[in-house]
Structure 1
Amino acid sequence: MKKTGLFFGTFNPIHIGHLIIAQYFLNETDLGEVWFVISPKSPFKQKEKITDDRQRLYMVQLAIEGVNGLRASDVEFGMPKPNYTVKTLEKLRANHPNRTFVLLMGADNIKNFRKWKDYEQILSHHAIYIYPRPFVRLDADETELGIYFEKAPAIDISSTYIRESLKAGKDIRFLLHHKVWNYIDATGLYSN
């Protein structure tokens, strides 16, 4: 069984923080691959304006192009909205019975994990690899939800900051993979 890490997110846009975390888990754990699962809309972010699904998928593909072990997944695109992770995981297990899926989750998301739809079902089928987030401390009962990789990089970059900076006309090119920056710069994405 091939062990595959699932890194869920809207990736609006994908930035170097996402890439660093994915590379860390690929290099430093037992995962054979890491998949970026691009989510159309999180049940916890209903008010957030989301860039077109295909554009976000394309930016992820640009960022990971030619990197062995990293892959973009649009599995959630055709699923009912809002997307619930438990349903996505059921679909992935059915479509890929030869893989074991592990969730990659920031400490900030672990804080709310027990509010997720059918979180017990997720835990019964999947391990969770937790990475640190700046200024987030986990309680003992939260670290028990998965394996905490405290040496993973704690990166304080957010897609929200990137979007706001682009809208304000700021140059944030070094927070993005150069191909993603070039795409955003050429299309004017996030500038208005």
Structure 2
Amino acid sequence: MKCQNIKKKVGIMGGTFDPVHNAHLSLGQCALSQLSLDEVWFMPARDPYFKKKKNVTPAKLRCDMTSLAVSGHPGFRLSLFELEREGETYTAETLELLSEKFPDIHFYFIIGADSMYQIDTWWHPENIMKLCTLVVAGRHYPDGQRSFQEQVNYLRERFQADIEVLDFSETDISSTMIREMVAEGRDISLLVPEAVMHYIEEKHLYK
């Protein structure tokens, strides 16, 4: 088994976190408890290649918001691993560098069901599957696509992927929605941690 003789089990929550919100935290907590992880690392992306044509909030501000969000949550920590790298970042490369730097850790890469249907088109998906346990949240699937379980089986067969499926209730919260609500002057207090809401107000973000 992949986790044999591994001292530590660490979940990776990656993303732009623009902004980080309560659904991110709920998903991290779900993975932490259901998979008995030692920690979940929230890892803001520096320059996500798939968003290079979009306006992404500067990394320093996204990092500050993520730090505020995870503060006080046992088992959560902010990781600057991707922010400290130069240029575009790719999941396969990040996992390879993490495995080299932390050989005593087995990583669990946490994604939503939407990403599970796209991951075989990512940069070197075979390396992603080789370097971590894939953790999938949610069970919905796009119209015309394989069923959720069929997609899990497909990835397991094609990549010999180690996949864990979380019992997680999906929400409609998204960072895009929150940015739009802030721009419209609507209340986001139920969608993000209080400290993050105050930071957005203080820095006049998303106006």
Structure 2: gaps (5+ residues)? 1-6, 156-162
Superposition pairs of residues 4-15 of structure 1, within 5 angstroms: 4-15=10-21
**Contact (CA 8 Å) 1:133, 1:156: kept in 2 or not?**
no
> Could you tell me which residue of structure 1 aligns to residue 164 of structure 2?
147
Q: 175, 196, 202: which is aligned to 1:159?
A: 175
Q: How many residues align?
A: 190
Task: Tell me, in whole angstroms, the C-alpha distance in 1 between the residues paired with 2:139 and 2:68.
Answer: 25
- CA shift at 1:136, angstroms? 4.8
Deviation at 1:81, TM superposition (A): 2.5
The 5-angstrom pairing of residues 41-80 of structure 1 reads: 41-80=47-86
Counterpart of 1:126?
Answer: 132
Residue identity matched to 2:202: A
Given that 2:11 and 2:37 are in contact with CA atoms closer than 8 Å, whether structure 1 keeps it comes out as yes
Change (3 A) 1:155 1:134: farther
Matched residue, 1:183: 199
Identity %: 33
TM-score norm. by structure 1 comes to 0.92
Q: CA–CA distance in 2 between the matches of 1:60 and 1:153?
A: 22
1:117-154 CA distance string (max 9 Å, x none): 111111112110100166658444421332222x2121
Check conservation: 2:46, 2:85, Cα contact below 8 A: no
Question: After the TM superposition, which residues 26-105 of structure 1 pair with which residues of structure 2 at under 5 Å, given as runs?
Answer: 26-105=32-111
> CA separation in 1, counterparts of 2:182 and 2:78?
24
CA RMSD of aligned residues (A): 1.6
Structure 1 residue identity aligned to 2:63? L
Contact 1:134 1:154 (8 Å CA) reproduced: no
Q: CA offsets, 1:39-77, max 9 Å, x none?
A: 023222222211111111111110111211001111112
Residues 1:169 and 2:178 are matched in the alignment? no
TM-score (norm 2): 0.86
In structure 1, the gaps of 5 or more residues are: none
Between the aligned partners of 2:205 and 2:113, the Cα distance in structure 1 is: 30
Deviates more, 1:129-138 or 1:62-71: 129-138
2:137 touches 2:165 (CA, 8 Å); kept in 1?
yes
